[in-house]
Structure 1
Amino acid sequence: MVKLIDIARVIRSKNSGPFELTFDIIFKDKEIYEMVKGKKAINSELIKKLYKISEDKIIGIYYFDPALAVKFTIVRPLPAGHLGETDIYGAQQHAPLLIAEIDL
Structure 2
Amino acid sequence: MATKLKDVCHYIRSKVAGPFWVTIDLMFDSKESFEKYSNDPALSATSIAGVYRIDPASVSHYPVPNLNVLKISYPRRGSQGGVEERDLHSGQQYVYILDLELAG
> One fold, TM greater than 0.5?
yes
- Stretches of structure 1 that go unaligned for 5 or more consecutive residues are none
TM-superposition CA deviations, 1:22-74 (whole Å, max 9, x none): 0000000111111123xx1121122122212222332x101111110110110
User: CA separation in 2, counterparts of 1:43 and 1:67?
Assistant: 20
The correspondence of residues 1-104 of structure 1 with structure 2, limited to 5 A, is: 1-37=2-38, 40-41=39-40, 42-58=43-59, 60-104=60-104
Secondary structure of 1:61's aligned partner: strand
Runs of 4+ in structure 1 off by over 3 angstroms are: none
Kindly report the root-mean-square deviation, in angstroms, between the aligned alpha carbons of the 2 structures. 1.2
Give the residue type in structure 2 aligned to 1:14. Answer: K
Alignment partner of 1:83: what SS?
coil
Give identity over the alignment, percent.
Answer: 29
Q: Which runs of 5+ in 2 are unaligned?
A: none
Calculate the TM-score normalised by the size of structure 1.
0.90
Alpha-carbon separation, structure 1, partners of 2:99 and 2:67: 22
